[in-house]
Each structure stands twice: as structure tokens, then as C-alpha cells.
């Protein structure tokens, strides 16, 4: 029931528009990143004679529940607005007055079933729903071109068997890390080596973007996470990456005397707490807004990043997608750091992580923002289904490779 890969298939998402002149390109980006309405997700509970569903928590996404019979229910999942990327986030709670098995079908108004269900009974404890409790249609899955260059097979809907009782069971596309939980995790690290915190308001919302610092060096390592709400595995990798930078071994200690880290771990608070598939509260993919900055999140982030630039700088933006993959900058970016650390990363891992260059359309992503500031950069993508132990191990090795590259260490490179 997990996403299956077919043979690699190259998809040039923006290739056809690459020849557009600047004015047309600007006009097209202006339209793409202008605020647009977001459908309000009514926060409520659904009570069906002893079985109760709820979306009353930050990060929830559950648009409708229908009762088929006493033990069978259909949940409808819809995006915040359209058009939207195929990241069908869902998160809801369910409980029953009397213990029982129920079946819950997930139906999507858009796209297909992508994320294997995770379940949680206790705060912070998440498990994959066992495969034996997940069923799909008998029909063949749909072949979908993933952005990673692969074709992925996806079902239209799935049905889960769930054991429910009076304890509320949370079911979600990935573990739920809302804004408050994320901030608590990073604040706890203030006792573990972070050297400061700053914030910038996300205008028009109750939120601020929070940034933390580590190290005292003259150069700036800039780290971003969670531009896209469902991309939790990328956020988990960013945490491990940061923990490795904070260790007390020779490498990390030397690194922190030469480099100062600025991390904005959660770039899209309205989208994360709103349970969005992709967009911010303005209904826009903020990773298309780094050129014209029509959205408050990109403005807040660039304010923070610009006031923390060092003599030399490097940027890594953490995301999730169909599989582990790295997106280095366009070859015109004159980036001498990235190839070095990627080679070392491959050597440390023993198996190369796929790399793919982002086709240049317009300077709209964080990579392009970096390029416009003369900052080499990479997008670090973690697979939706990459197990936590593996993404932890990889993120730690990535941090070691990055530290060596930024310190100019040659030893250990083939
Ligand atoms: Zn992303």
C-alpha cells in the first residue's frame, strides 16, 4: 500500500516556459504568488452513536465524515484551495464510547492517496498503521509523474481498520508537529547549545517566524524548514542535522568557531496549523515567492536571513518528497561548496543519494533567493516514507559532510 516507483521518467515542469521574456515571466509569477481565498475548514466533531471524529486541533485536516453503518465511516479530505500540489495531508482524531473495530475510508476530493497512515495514542508516540489494516481498491493504481523524475503508482482511496476506544486515537499523514510543538522542541535546545533566538512577525497573522542561532563564527550557515506543511520528514532531518552541529567533538567545535548558524525551522505557520496540503494562509506556495515577496512569510524570512549574513554564506532548505533526493543550484550559480559536500556525503553513506538540478524558470524558490545573493545552496529532500532511524543517520552524516566542506577540509575526500 505504499507508493511504488516505475522507471525514471524525466519531467521538465517549467522547461516549456524557460524562453519567456522577463516581463512575461514577472507577470506570471505575480499572478502565481498573489493571495487567493483559502476554504475555511469548519472545526467540529462528528458524533455517530458512540463513535466520535474530530478535527479540533492544530494541524488537523478533515472536511467531512459520513456514516455508512455502525462500524463503517467515510472521511473526505480536501485541500485548502486549488490548484494545489499532490500532497494530500490528513489528520483527525477518533474515539468510541465502547471499544470496537471500525473501518474508515479516506476519500480525497483532489489527487490520490499518498501518505501511509500514522497513528498515535499518546503525545509524541507515532506508529505506522500496520499494512494488514490498510486496504485499497481492487482496480489498478494510477501512474502519477512525481517531481523527482519517477512515476509513482497511487490508489484513489484507502480503507483503514482501526481499533478505537475512549482514548482519542490520532490518525494522520505524518506525525503531527504543529507550531507550538515545534517551538517547544527548539526552545528546549536553547539549553543544549543554541546561542540565541529572534523573531519576525508574519504580517496579517497571529504568528511570528522564529529563528535560532548556534556558533560564533564570522560566516553564515542558513537553514530553512517546513515551507510546505506536510513535509515532516524534512523537518525531522533538519533537527538531527542541527543536533550534529551542536555536538562537542573536534569537527563541530571547530565549525562553530568559523561559522554561525541561523535556522528557521518552520517557515509556514499558518499552513502547518491550518492543516494545509501545500500553501500558506494566503493560499500561495511560499516557495514560489522568493523573488517578488508578496507573502508575509517570505518577507519575514528574508528579513531574518539578511540581518544574519556573514562574510561567506551557505543555505540549505529542508523538504520532503517521494524519495531522498538533493537539488543543487543551477549550474550557472558558480557553487563550489555543494559538489564537495555531496561527494563526501555519498562516500560516508556508501551509496549515492540521487541529485537533480532544478530547471530554471524564474528566481522564485529559496535556491534562487540564495543565488541572487551570491549564496551557494542546496535543497535537501527526504522521502515521505524514509524511516526515522535512516533519516536521522543520513542527516547527521550530511551535517558532517557540510561542516567539512565549509571548513575547507580536503582530507577524507576521494
Ligand atoms: Zn517542499
For residues 183, 185, 191, 193, the Cα torsion angle rounded to the nearest 10 degrees is -90
Centre of ligand 1 to C-alpha 203, Å, is 22
Q: Domain containing 324: what range?
A: 179-407
Centre of ligand 1 to C-alpha 286, Å, is 10
Centre of ligand 1 to C-alpha 318, Å, is 8
Centre of ligand 1 to C-alpha 47, Å, is 35
**Whole-angstrom distance, CA of residue 258 vs CA of residue 215:** 8
Among 152, 172, 192, which residue terminates a domain? Answer: 172
Among 172, 199, 227, which residue terminates a domain? Answer: 172
Centre of ligand 1 to C-alpha 325, Å, is 12
Centre of ligand 1 to C-alpha 367, Å, is 12
Domain-located, residue 30: no
Residues 154 and 201 in one domain: no
Structural domain count of the chain = 2
Predicted local distance difference test score (pLDDT) of residue 19: 59
Set of cell numbers at residue 217: 563564527
Residues 284 and 301 in one domain: yes
Specify the CATH number for the domain of residue 187: 3.40.630.10
Backbone φ, ψ for residue 269 (5° rounding): -65, -40
Centre of ligand 1 to C-alpha 163, Å, is 33
Domain-located, residue 133: yes
Residues 264 and 334 in one domain: yes
Spell 160-172 as b/e; 16+ CB within 10 A means b: bebebeeeebbbb
Residues 274 and 330 in one domain: yes
Specify the CATH number for the domain of residue 139: 2.60.40.3120
From first to last of its 414 residues, what are the pLDDT tens digits of the chain? 565 554 333 333 344 445 578 889 999 999 999 999 999 899 999 999 899 999 999 999 999 999 999 999 999 999 999 999 999 999 999 999 999 999 999 999 999 999 999 999 999 999 999 999 999 998 888 998 877 778 999 999 999 999 999 999 999 999 999 999 999 999 999 998 999 999 999 999 999 999 999 999 999 999 999 999 999 999 999 999 999 999 999 999 999 999 999 999 999 999 999 999 999 999 999 999 999 999 999 999 999 999 999 999 999 999 999 999 999 987 666 788 999 999 999 999 999 999 988 766 678 999 989 988 999 999 999 999 999 999 999 999 999 999 999 999 987 665
Centre of ligand 1 to C-alpha 24, Å, is 25
Ramachandran assignment for 148, one of left (phi > 0), alpha (psi -120 to 50 degrees), beta (any other): alpha
**pTM for this structure?**
0.94
Surface-to-core class of residue 98, CB atoms within 10 Å of its CB (0-12 exposed, 13-18 middle, 19+ buried):
exposed
Residues 118 and 213 in one domain: no
Centre of ligand 1 to C-alpha 297, Å, is 15
Residues 334 and 222 in one domain: yes
Centre of ligand 1 to C-alpha 16, Å, is 22
Among 145, 172, 199, which residue terminates a domain? Answer: 172
Distances (CA, A) of 394 to 34, 231, 236, 261, 314: 37, 17, 11, 19, 19
Predicted local distance difference test score (pLDDT) of residue 11: 33
Amino acid at each position: 500500500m505504499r507508493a511504488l516507483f516505475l522507471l525514471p521518467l524525466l519531467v521538465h515542469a517549467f522547461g516549456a516556459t524557460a524562453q519567456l521574456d522577463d516581463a512575461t515571466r514577472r507577470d506570471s509569477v505575480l499572478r502565481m504568488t498573489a493571495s487567493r481565498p483559502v476554504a475555511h475548514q469548519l472545526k467540529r466533531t462528528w458524533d455517530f452513536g458512540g463513535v466520535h471524529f474530530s478535527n479540533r486541533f492544530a494541524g488537523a485536516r478533515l472536511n467531512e465524515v459520513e456514516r455508512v453503518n455502525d462500524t463503517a465511516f467515510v472521511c473526505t479530505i480536501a485541500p485548502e484551495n486549488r490548484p494545489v500540489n499532490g500532497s494530500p495531508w490528513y489528520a483527525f482524531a477518533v474515539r468510541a464510547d465502547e471499544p470496537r473495530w471500525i473501518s474508515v475510508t479516506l476519500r480525497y476530493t483532489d489527487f490520490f492517496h499518498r501518505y501511509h497512515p500514522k497513528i498515535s495514542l499518546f503525545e509524541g508516540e507515532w506508529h505506522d498503521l500496520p499494512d494488514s489494516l490498510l486496504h485499497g481498491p481492487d482496480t489498478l493504481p494510477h501512474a502519477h509523474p512525481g517531481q523527482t523524475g519517477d512515476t509513482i503508482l497511487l490508489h484513489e482511496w484507502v480503507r483503514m481498520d482501526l481499533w478505537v476506544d475512549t482514548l482519542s486515537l490520532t490518525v494522520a499523514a505524518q506525525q503531527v508537529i504543529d507550531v507550538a510543538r515545534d517551538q517547544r522542541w527548539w526552545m528546549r535546545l536553547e539549553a543544549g547549545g543554541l546561542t540565541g533566538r529572534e523573531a519576525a512577525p508574519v504580517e496579517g497573522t497571529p504568528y511570528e517566524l522564529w529563528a535560532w542561532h548556534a556558533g560564533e563564527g564570522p560566516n553564515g550557515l542558513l537553514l530553512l524548514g517546513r515551507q510546505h506543511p506536510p513535509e515532516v520528514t524534512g523537518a525531522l532531518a533538519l533537527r538531527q542535522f542541527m543536533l550534529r552541529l551542536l555536538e562537542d567533538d573536534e569537527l563541530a567545535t571547530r565549525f562553530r568557531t568559523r561559522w554561525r548558524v541561523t535556522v528557521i525551522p518552520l517557515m509556514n505557520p499558518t499552513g502547518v496549523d491550518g492543516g494545509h496540503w501545500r500553501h500558506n494562509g494566503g493560499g500561495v506556495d511560499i516557495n514560489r515567492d522568493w523573488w517578488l515577496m508578496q507573502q508575509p512569510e517570505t518577507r519575514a524570512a528574508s528579513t531574518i536571513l539578511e540581518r544574519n549574513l556573514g562574510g561567506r554564506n551557505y543555505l540549505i532548505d529542508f523538504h520532503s518528497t517521494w524519495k531522498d533526493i538533493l537539488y543543487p543550484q543551477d549550474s550557472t550559480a558558480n557553487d563550489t561548496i555543494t559538489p564537495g559536500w555531496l561527494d563526501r556525503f555519498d562516500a560516508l553513506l556508501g551509496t549515492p543519494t540521487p541529485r537533480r538540478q532544478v530547471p530554471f524558470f524564474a528566481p522564485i524558490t529559496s535556491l534562487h533567493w540564495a543565488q541572487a545573493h551570491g549564496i551557494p545552496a542546496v535543497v535537501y529532500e527526504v522521502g515521505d516514507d524514509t524511516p526515522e532511524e535512516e533519516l536521522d543517520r543520513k542527516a547527521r552524516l550530511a551535517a558532517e559532510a557540510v561542516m567539512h566542506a565549509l571548513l575547507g577540509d580536503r582530507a577524507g575526500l576521494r
